[in-house]
Amino acid sequence: MTPRVSDPFTGQSIESARRTLAARLRSAQLEEAELDARILLGAALGLDLTGLIAQAARLLTEAEASRIAQHAQRRIAGEPVGRILGTREFWGLPFRLSDATLVPRPDTETVVERALELFREQKATQQPRIADIGTGSGAILLALLHDIPGAFGVGTDLSLNALETARGNAVTLGLADRSAFVACSYLAALRGPFDLIVSNPPYIPSAEIPKLSLEVREHDPHLALDGGNDGYDAYRALIPQAAERLAPGGALIVEAGQGQARNIETLLTAAALVVDRPPKADLAGIPRAVSARKMPP
């Protein structure tokens, strides 16, 4: 049974509770206090935005007030909203999370955007094949399968827990018949050829992990964060394997950390892949999605 948490929400209306919750989150120096308050309140009450507005004057029950207080306590302690709720939206789709998966972030949607650009240019006539390396919750792969009718995709991960989560998301999104999930290191168990290979690999230098925000360092799996001494261990392993398994004309797209894009392009070129366009920047202007093609012989 969840322990009872002392709360200031008992006896409040839904609208009053929303304002109280937002104020508490702002006091904790949380950047998206208003948005977090609305999402957490809605989850605690089982209401969407329309429901929150329609029932704004309704008084909370004691159980509802307690649930809101529990959410508030966890968020103020630094737990991300996605972890509290167990779900996160990515590419407009809902994804269940687990302890073994990253919380999908808007920055990673840049990889999906670049992948769709390159796929449309490629104009594949047969059923396109996609691989997502280090798939986690399956967010990148399933977003692409959602937007590319007829495509088939395989996601790999070292974590069986993550793969179970990804399979569950594929079922929920109606994509189970067009996806498969394999436990292996990078592309070791895959044969190819693939038209698209995508990845958000671990790229944080080991020494930088203790300096990350509380939300990341305490709640994201370190296996999905730690990129080795300089942050490039995963790229050094992944890129040569991907180059071997790409179809002629196929593309590899990887997410890059801040300041890493140029060095990743060097690794891509060393694997005989052709970097034919600049990295795609995220909303903050950081070069985020680095891509290259395998040229036909």
Q: Looking at beta carbons, which pairs linking 2-5 to residues 24 or more positions away fall under 8 Å?
A: 2/70, 4/66, 5/66, 5/69, 5/70, 5/73
Longest dimension (CA), the chain: 72
- C-beta of residue 162 within 8 angstroms of C-beta of residue 104: no
Cβ burial, residue 288 (10 Å; 0-12/13-18/19+): buried
Segment (H or E) for 275 = none
Residue 90 region by backbone torsions, left for phi larger than 0, else alpha for psi between -120 and 50, else beta: beta
What was the pLDDT predicted at 1? 38
The series of mean pLDDT values per 10 residues for the chain, 297 residues long, is 60 95 94 93 94 96 94 93 94 96 95 93 77 98 96 97 98 98 97 94 96 90 94 98 95 97 98 97 96 92
Q: How crowded is residue 267: how many other Cβ atoms within 10 Å of its Cβ? A: 18
Residues 179-191 have pLDDT tens digits of 999 999 999 999 9
Q: What is the pLDDT of residue 122?
A: 73
Buried b (16+ CB within 10 A) or exposed e, 143-171: bbbbebeebbbbbbbebeebbebbbbbbe
